[in-house]
Amino acid sequence: MDARPIVVGYDASPDARAALRWALDEARRTALPIRLIYAFDWYVGPMWLAPGPSVWPDSEARADARAMLANAVAEAAKSHPAVTVTPAVVDGPAQLRLRDESKTAAMLVLGGRGTGGFPELLVGSTAVSVSSHADCPVIVVRATEQATEQAEGGILVGVDGSPCAQAALEWAFERAVALDAPLTVVEAWSPPSTRFVPAGLDLGTIARTIHVELDDLVGDWRQKFPQVRVATEVHTGGAAAHLVAASAGARLVVVGSRGRGTVAGTLLGSVSQELIHHAHCPVAIVRTARHAGPAR
């Protein structure tokens, strides 16, 4: 059994509290422990420009952080008494410390935006940065979502043939088993403008071919996870728009961190970014696969 913890980044913001609730439900199902992290970002600018304690974080600020985590642990013990929650106050930028934590975590759960975010931003820089670099799946939860164990609906996973999408598909099947939830595998394609379509090219035939290839891909995973109820969908247009709309009836949407259409050099794909900003349910970003995939 996996003994790695579920790591939760926590700062007592509404989104962080929602993330902790989601993680507690997950830990109760999986019997995994939770490691609750608060990171102090040290001030490194000239002290004569920004008044503050001579040593940062000072003892009072550190005590406040420990008290905040202790309160969260106490509340977790009331709602989820069987779950072990270990708090830790760490030093350094949250993005870097959480990325370090991801190396030994089963998954990393973050609120969409913490107390340091700008009000006009839907998702904070920490969630975007960690999702781009983490060594384990990252789940982003926003306080506006109904991210509870009783959430209705199935799991959505977006695929496009990229290695990250393959990793997301594997993880989505595993989550469907754990949650006893139906799984919908979605692929989107954008046909060329009609003015550029060569004579004799049938777009309907192309769409049917894509669906056959998707069913073939999913069929391999069906053999490995025969207990999962799976449906496949092929849509015309952008994948992000379809997944965002469908997420309103889902309990979780899963995508790879970067698809095959991502511009070289970017670490988090446009579909992933759209989802963590706009999805109506928690979003799981998967960057790497543990396995090469099911044998054909």
Residue 80 is assigned to a structural domain of this protein: yes
Task: Return phi, psi of residue 109, to 5°.
Answer: -115, 125
Domain boundary residue, one of 141, 175, 204 = 141
Find the largest Cα–Cα distance for the chain. 74
What would the pLDDT profile of 224-233 be if each residue is shown by its tens digit?
Answer: 999 999 999 9
Flag whether pLDDT at 295 surpasses 50.
no
Domain boundary residue, one of 141, 169, 188 = 141
What would the pLDDT profile of 197-220 be if each residue is shown by its tens digit?
Answer: 566 566 677 778 888 889 888 988
pLDDT in the model for residue 71: 96
* Of residues 288, 233, 230, the one with CA closest to residue 256: 288
Element (H, E) at 124: none
* Cross-strand partners of 230: 183
Lowest mean pLDDT among 93-107, 179-193, 266-280: 266-280
Flag whether pLDDT at 263 surpasses 60.
no
193-230 burial code (b ≥16 CB/10 A, e <16): eeeeeeeeeeeeeeeeebeeebeebbeebbeebeebeb
Number of domain units in the chain: 2
pLDDT in the model for residue 126: 72
Quick one: 135 and 208 in the same domain?
Answer: no
Quick one: 123 and 206 in the same domain?
Answer: no
Contact 240, 271 (CB under 8 A): yes
Q: What CATH number is attached to the domain comprising 88?
A: 3.40.50.620
Q: What CATH number is attached to the domain comprising 170?
A: 3.40.50.12370
Domain range for 114 is: 6-141
Question: Which of 291 and 16 is assigned the larger pLDDT?
Answer: 16
What would the pLDDT profile of 2-59 be if each residue is shown by its tens digit?
Answer: 679 999 999 898 889 999 999 999 999 999 999 999 987 655 444 444 444 555 557 7
pLDDT in the model for residue 87: 96
* Cross-strand partners of 141: 111
Task: Return phi, psi of residue 165, to 5°.
Answer: -70, -35
Give me the chain's average pLDDT, please.
80
Residue 69 is assigned to a structural domain of this protein: yes
Alpha-carbon span 134 to 259, nearest angstrom: 16
Alpha-carbon span 103 to 133, nearest angstrom: 10
DSSP 180: T
Domain boundary residue, one of 141, 173, 193 = 141
pLDDT in the model for residue 195: 60
Alpha-carbon span 64 to 45, nearest angstrom: 23
Contact 236, 268 (CB under 8 A): no
